[in-house]
Structure 1
């Protein structure tokens, strides 16, 4: 099935419908997406954009307390490669609907609660969304920026996201680092992100994604920082990986917490990723981070462990609620956010016979 999850779009498969051999599976998926080095992805279902070049693989869960296992794969646009390192919280928002549509799970009543194990990171998320006669409802009044119109709400409740890919909330061991003279906070609260000060790169941080994508000098500097930061975060050589994401931060302009421009990792996002927003929000509220002084934080008392934050991005805003442990120095228990989803198409995708040889 092809589904929109949040502000992304991807192709969703049951694990049982794909080859068990990983090499054969990946060759099949490259042909599905058209990922063989053609940035247009003409010979596949990918949309020539990182937000539409995504894959979700769903299986009945083998983990206690979870209903389904979700594996995310990013087909790297213009590269003959797939990346299974990151999570994708946007595609995640539709995996519960896919599980019901495919018959993998059954639910009764008016609301489905589905517990998801994210195999990429080992993290968990509970999805809650309206259903009728056991199938998802897609029409509703919920609105998210970056998506036209309104849809039924999908509530995503994440638990224990810290260190999703790197093993630590602050993977360099510091709240603030310096790479090539640029101040940075490396954070991994669901997604490895390098939060940077936009003004240090000679920009305001309010430029359009197209303008930033055309700025060759900026992109060269960002990639140089990303390679160093990725190694410092314990991610190894990230030249061919989709993480870490690079988030240029400036002061909010529309009443939010921070203003962002995110590269995923080399193309400026027209919005911001779900888990990237969670990590950016985490960096924004820590007093020692490189971007804390840009943030406009909600007033709260010392006992308030719920932090409601609004992350501004090129298409609007993304609301994130972080839950901190009471009395903790900085122990984040979970994150909650609103997404929407929609089934776009179901059917068969055709792969050349030669790909299956030896499978």
Structure 2
């Protein structure tokens, strides 16, 4: 007998995945993850038996519920579902999927809309980060129509402004977990930074490559990817994250100087075993902070400027607003869009429930 699971499929920024109410999923993480793997169709390279898209940016899940404290309206748990492995990672945040949380929460009845826009206060469960999402709600109804455009998404949509509060130390509690703004791993200069996302920043030139290369060219270089992974695993241990071989954090980024006027940096963001087709919001925020912090690998490559940064990526650019005073990042802001694609019930195979029950019995 199939399981009927209420579901809304949404695009958030340059990512896509199902949005669930927390009350509709098991409270036990192991049980929940079994259902998420079945929902997306993992493990399978095409995710043929689920609604995943066979890519890391289309194998994501947002779980939303009411907040438990007065600082937020809703809580958002992000889950990265591995495409080819039976693994669900809830360590990182995802700023792109975050763009869909505000409108989803309003339309789910968790937040009362106002005219002409509604501020939804979101707490990210993965990292504890607080984010304000400004959603367009003319006459008290969410609209997805508008003229705002973001690289990596065709056409325009209603703007959603995201302002990340108290950015820094998302997983480790410190902006620079090792106490250094730049250090070396196997002779390669790196910056290990935990802004909105734990990351390892490295100049592409120091690895004998170019941050301007197309995604396909970088992914075809198996030796380069293997070297980056070796560096990343050392970085994870130094950052206090332990063995990160089964985790997607820290995320690596290959950096180079800006090629066009008005840009700050060129970057290729890894997720971590493939190259992002555009740029993650949390990754872009972390890169912007590094670009404006003296002593980092990013600062040495960045064009001069204050107050924010423009990160060039494979699909265009990502503009980040920053408020930094005395080396303290008070907030970071970015413009995103979202779209509600379908709503209804997702049918999971009956064996999913049997597997979950077996897992519970074993525990």
Gaps of 5+ in 1: 301-306
**Match of 2:335, SS?**
strand
Q: Return the alpha-carbon distance in structure 2 between the equivalents of residues 292 and 70 of structure 1.
A: 32
Give a deviation string over 1:62-84, Cα, whole Å, max 9, x none.
Answer: 02221000000000121110000
1:139 aligns with 2:139: no
2:88 is matched with 82
Give a deviation string over 1:270-323, Cα, whole Å, max 9, x none.
Answer: 11100100111111112211232210022x5xxxxxx12100101000000111
Matches within 5 A, 1:35-114: 35-36=42-43, 38-114=44-120
Gaps of 5+ in 2: 1-7
1:347 is matched with 344
1:154 aligns with 2:151: no
1:187 aligns with 2:193: yes
- The answer to whether the 8 Å contact 1:68/1:116 transfers is yes
Large movers: runs of 4+ above 3 Å: none
Give a deviation string over 1:171-193, Cα, whole Å, max 9, x none.
Answer: 12110011111110011111011
1:31 aligns with 2:28: no
1:276 aligns with 2:283: yes
**Match of 2:243, SS?**
coil
1:217 aligns with 2:214: no
- The answer to whether the 8 Å contact 1:117/1:123 transfers is yes
Matches within 5 A, 1:161-180: 161-180=167-186
- The answer to whether the 8 Å contact 1:24/1:355 transfers is no
**Match of 1:350, SS?**
strand
Cα offset, 1:133, TM superposition: 4.2
Cα offset, 1:140, TM superposition: 0.7
Question: TM-score, normalization: structure 1?
Answer: 0.95
**Match of 1:94, SS?**
helix
**Match of 1:114, SS?**
strand
2:323 is matched with 323
1:13 aligns with 2:16: no
2:245 is matched with 239
- The answer to whether the 8 Å contact 1:190/1:275 transfers is yes
Q: Return the alpha-carbon distance in structure 2 between the equivalents of residues 34 and 282 of structure 1.
A: 36
1:314 is matched with 314
Q: Return the alpha-carbon distance in structure 2 between the equivalents of residues 8 and 290 of structure 1.
A: 28
Q: Return the alpha-carbon distance in structure 2 between the equivalents of residues 324 and 219 of structure 1.
A: 34
Q: Return the alpha-carbon distance in structure 2 between the equivalents of residues 239 and 271 of structure 1.
A: 24
Structure 1 range deviating more: 282-291 or 4-13? 282-291
Give a deviation string over 1:115-149, Cα, whole Å, max 9, x none.
Answer: 00111011100000211343311111111111111
**Match of 1:136, SS?**
coil
Cα offset, 1:92, TM superposition: 0.5
- The answer to whether the 8 Å contact 2:288/2:308 transfers is no
- The answer to whether the 8 Å contact 2:111/2:120 transfers is no
Question: TM-score, normalization: structure 2?
Answer: 0.94
1:292 aligns with 2:299: yes
